[in-house]
Amino acid sequence: MLEPGKNFAAWIDSLFLSGHMWSYYDGAWDPEGIVSTIPAVATTLFGVLTAQWLSSSFPGYRKVAGMVCAGLVLLIAGYILDRWLPINKSIWTSTFSIFMAGMALVSLAFFHWLIDIAEFSRWTKPFIILGLNPITVYVLSEVFDNTLRSVNLPVALAQDIDCQSFVFQNLCSPVVQSETASLLYAFMTLLFMYLIAWIMWRKRIFIKI
């Protein structure tokens, strides 16, 4: 069964994590449960293997070719296996780990060639600025989002709305269709986070862990 709260991952979690799962579907499943953690670890190990490959002594073009070949194999394998085990991010299925590792490898191979081998890197400045304080930007984005959710605005008599919903309904939904309104909201949040990262970069403030 593949329904939320009734699949294999939810069943295992119900045996060992009963009463400690997230509130999705009345606490019946957890997107970060026991079974979901195993392919998540595999995703990390894909990154470790890729780092070892990139740090090897092979020529740059061979590294690119190797990543492209491995990425295509993983993409095809994930696509084929999706028929039996769906690609599902919410519970981080094995096919999701395989398919996304393939996509990441192909993308990384392209940018490795473009930036490190072809030396076309002037356009990467905004990404460098974000990458100099990645944990800070991530934490601030979570704080920013939770703050908007928790602060309410009065919109009518005895009726309030949280700031996030207000921004979404008044700045995003009227501009684009509902399918892309959330993408616009995410892009606006990213621009705000980039402004903070740019200020930190100008002030030479780099927070490391």
pLDDT per position as a tens digit, 157-209 = 567 788 888 888 888 888 777 778 888 888 999 999 999 999 999 999 999 87
Which of these three, 93, 120, 147, is where a domain ends?
A: 120
Question: Residue 80 pLDDT more than 60?
Answer: yes
Q: Are residues 61 and 146 in the same domain?
A: no
State the Cα–Cα distance between residues 166 and 191, nearest whole angstrom. Answer: 18
Q: Are residues 116 and 129 in the same domain?
A: no
Q: Do residues 44 and 97 touch, judged by C-beta distance below 8 A?
A: no
Whether 159 is in a domain gets the answer yes
Which of these three, 99, 120, 141, is where a domain ends?
A: 120
| Cα dihedral: 68, 69, 74, 76 (round 10) | 100
- How many other CB atoms are there within 10 angstroms of residue 102's CB atom? 22
Whether 2 is in a domain gets the answer no
Host domain of residue 174: 125-202
Question: Residue 87 pLDDT more than 80?
Answer: yes
Domain count, the chain: 2
**Model pLDDT, residue 28:** 63
Q: Are residues 115 and 129 in the same domain?
A: no
Whether 3 is in a domain gets the answer no
State the Cα–Cα distance between residues 191 and 171, nearest whole angstrom. Answer: 15
Name, in order, each residue with C-beta under 8 angstroms of 158's C-beta and a sequence gap of 6 or more.
Answer: none
Secondary structure class of 176 (helix, strand, coil): coil
Q: Are residues 129 and 116 in the same domain?
A: no
